[in-house]
Amino acid sequence: MSDFKNKNVLITGAASGIGRIMAKLAAKEGARVILWDISDSQLQALHREIEAEGGKAFSYLCDVSVKETVFQTAEQVKKEAGPVDILVNNAGVVVGKMFSEYTPEEIEKTVNVNLMALFWTVKAFLPGMLESDKGHIVTIASAGGIIGVSKLSVYSATKFAAFGFDESLRMEFKKAKQDIKTTVVCPFFIDTGMFKGVKTRVPFLLPILKPNYAANKIIKAIKKNKRRVWMPALVYTVPLLRIFPVAFFDAAASFLGVNSAMDPFVGRKEEK
């Protein structure tokens, strides 16, 4: 068990959605929260709110899809806030359409925000963690990172990769006997607006998750050094279903409404 008191906690995509809630929760736990986002107005509003409630915050306008911007902003963080103890890679975007309808620009943006940004932020802050032999890297992936979903081809591809990245990092730290923790988070759809319009066929088994519930669960998992957080509980059955023939796996996903969930998707063009 660890705590947030006096820890530097950096959250990407911090100004809205579960990023915003996690930032406020971490600040209440005594952390110095380092907020990264591309929305300056929302970022500054959150910064002011945290400090008005007695917390400590540093805020940086940062487009995590741009490698150079990530590295430059990381240097600012190190100079002004100090080493990062807990890195929460939360920023993400989604395009809900059939792959044949994607534009090349939509593909590149999704890959850059959801995947490449993970590499750049970890590359920027891992040396400090290795030097101190402590730290925690949190990857907000998705249930769409362990099961492919219709109309989420590129999103799912990035989240599958995020899941693999977390797993490889965990193995590397373990092999090298380094005391750096990792946590991967794979939630079903969260009601933040990012997936506005999505539906679930079986809400008692696969509910659309409430943002406060998801954020609290993640923060508690970080404190407990949990390696993975999948929600709801039914998500844990996905690996088990893969032992069956593909036709059975696909039929189960369709029966649960997984492949029709995105049909009424509306979403937002810009979302963290």
Active site residues: 155
Report the distance separating Cα 73 and Cα 60, nearest Å.
Answer: 7
Q: Measuring CA to CA, how many Å separate 148 from each of 1, 52, 108, 127, 250?
A: 34, 42, 19, 33, 10
Give the whole-angstrom CA distance, residue 169 versus residue 181: 9
Length of the chain: 272
> Cα separations (Å) of 73 from 40, 125, 130, 218, 241?
14, 11, 20, 25, 43
Distance CA 48, CA 269 (A): 26
Tokens 């509003």 locate to 45
Starting at the edge strand that comes first in sequence, how are the strands of the sheet with 228-231 ordered?
A: 56-61, 32-37, 8-12, 86-89, 135-140, 180-187, 228-231
